[in-house]
Amino acid sequence: MLQSPKVVTIFGGSGFVGRYIARRMAKEGWRVQVAVRRPNEAVFVRPYGVVGQVEPVLANIRNDESVAQIVANSDAVVNCVSVLQEHGKQTFEALNVEGAARIAKACAAAGVARLVHISALGANLESDSASARSKAEGEQEILKAFPTAMILRPSVIFGNEDQFLNRFAQMSSFTPVLPLFGGGSKFQPVYVDDVAQAACKGILGEAEPGIYELGGPDVESLSEIVKRMLHITRRRRLVINQPFFLGTILGKTLDMVQKLSLGLFTNTILTADQVKQLRNDNVVSNTAKSFANLDITPTSYETVAEQYLYRYRPSGQYAELTESARHMRGTPTTSDF
């Protein structure tokens, strides 16, 4: 008699990190429920597996009944839902804290075997940042209801769909100057598929419970990372580190515009809370569990970024051909400077 495949439910499974976890778990032969608020916008996940293996399902982590119904038939659950800037009902408290708690309690009540929660490096109850505090509070709620949960704290995540390198590369395509707030702060960019691999080890029971801090092999300042990005995109731009007080003013102004617009404008540019986070380094501590404890070798962002940042080059996919032709004529290229 054939045994039914196990089921993993991924809240936020159509998001940046969630889709990579869904793809990996489909390859492991599991049924994957991608729990999202708008299933019709997540149909792109279906080809990750065979017909019917990966399905988007309706769920709202702000609703007890919705969450309980979805996790009822699950062998494992992953929570990828979080919010970086508040908008309407999508607040730090509602998603990062209460939503996380709701999922953990539902998993415990349903007898789910394993729970993986995606948090963030920098989660700290004592932080000046409301986002960082809410992440830490969410972790507390998770462990209170589900003590054997695996919690992952990634540094800034890069990958094809990221809002990190892509954002700076896009800016560099239309402005000669890149102003940075927190240009001297250290980051440890981590590859999205490495984070997904770590989550899958938790789902499969191949990792011990606990908190893991995840960072890539490169520890660099934000300014250094942006300059490397410019080298990859073959752009010459002036990178200027700006004082934090200017960032605070800009962030508060944009926050106010969002509030006064009554939902017509969402501040995805820079919030006052993000400026507070940029004041601190975002690197893995020496005493934390990390990729080393999971037998995962992290990927350098330079080896991957070239694969998706080429579209921001002046000649796009033909940049190498253009540069080769210039070399033959003896004309210097951007990369020669």
Mean pLDDT score of the chain, rounded to an integer?
93
pLDDT confidence of residue 336:
41
Q: Select from 3.40.50.720, 3.60.15.10, 3.30.750.200, 3.40.309.10 the CATH code of 7-161+188-218+282-298.
A: 3.40.50.720
Of 101-110, 205-214, 279-288, 310-319, minimum mean pLDDT range: 310-319
Tokens at residue 318, please?
Answer: 């033909």
What does the pLDDT look like over 301-334, one tens digit per residue? 999 999 999 999 997 664 554 555 555 555 555 5
pLDDT confidence of residue 2:
52
pLDDT confidence of residue 330:
59
Question: How many residues are listed for the chain in this entry?
Answer: 337
What does the pLDDT look like over 104-136, one tens digit per residue? 999 999 999 999 999 999 999 999 999 999 999
Percent share of the chain, pLDDT over 70:
93
pLDDT confidence of residue 319:
52
pLDDT confidence of residue 321:
47
What does the pLDDT look like over 9-25, one tens digit per residue? 999 999 999 999 999 99
Q: Answer whether 0.75 is exceeded by the pTM.
A: yes
Residue 177: Cβ within 10 Å count = 10
Average pLDDT over every residue of 204-227: 98
What does the pLDDT look like over 147-202, one tens digit per residue? 999 999 999 999 999 999 999 999 999 999 999 999 999 999 999 999 999 999 99
pLDDT confidence of residue 9:
98
Residue 84 pLDDT class (50, 70, 90 cuts): confident
C-alpha–C-alpha distance, residues 214 and 151, integer Å: 10
Whether 80 has a pLDDT exceeding 50, the answer reads: yes
Whether 68 has a pLDDT exceeding 90, the answer reads: yes
pLDDT confidence of residue 320:
57
Percent share of the chain, pLDDT over 90:
88
Could you tell me which residues come within 8 angstroms of residue 57 by beta carbon, excluding any fewer than 6 positions away? 9, 33, 34, 35, 36, 39, 70
Residue 337 pLDDT class (50, 70, 90 cuts): very low
pLDDT confidence of residue 264:
86
> What ranges do the domains of the chain cover?
7-161+188-218+282-298
